[in-house]
Chain A
Amino acid sequence: ETGVTQTPRHLVMGMTNKKSLKCEQHLGHNAMYWYKQSAKKPLELMFVYSLEERVENNSVPSRFSPECPNSSHLFLHLHTLQPEDSALYLCASSQVLGVMSGELFFGEGSRLTVL
């Protein structure tokens, strides 16, 4: 139990589908993040939210659309994805925004396969 819960854990979708990934943190943190983990590549930061406000969009294609309705929940809406988008999508949270506040708490990830 990490305190950060991601659903679904596995997702297979076609290129024309629309799906969403959900993340919920039970830690009372103010900042939430989406990371992408592909094989043989470093973890890539996608989006950062602080108190429901987006503070970073790390040049992510518009087929990925984040939503943060409150400080405990984070979504990643997916549409018209490409096979190269297949990866492990990790949600993380931190107490406050800023690396000096300490660690990131990661969820277990959503393994996405795009056919």
Chain B
Amino acid sequence: NAGVTQTPKFQVLKTGQSMTLQCAQDMNHEYMSWYRQDPGMGLRLIHYSVGAGITDQGEVPNGYNVSRSTTEDFPLRLLSAAPSQTSVYFCASSYRMRGLVGNTEAFFGQGTRLTVV
């Protein structure tokens, strides 16, 4: 049971380049999400998905795209990288909340440290 796997762990991009951050989970979680972590700002939600074929925007979606063709995978695409996208990116997954039944904690990947020069 690998949990949440993110690749790559580190990446350096030039301004204007595009790339895809991969996220996969093997826990059959319906909910998956992407956050970026910047100093003093906690984790800010970029995009999320409550199931295959369903995605929605979070707090800071501009410059990022996502898709959810399978339950397991939730890739994050940077369309044209900018220095402002230098950050640490975390993918997280969990079961959907259904009323008040059971805790539904989020499980996190180890993060992707992205630098845009």
The answer on A and B forming one complex is: no
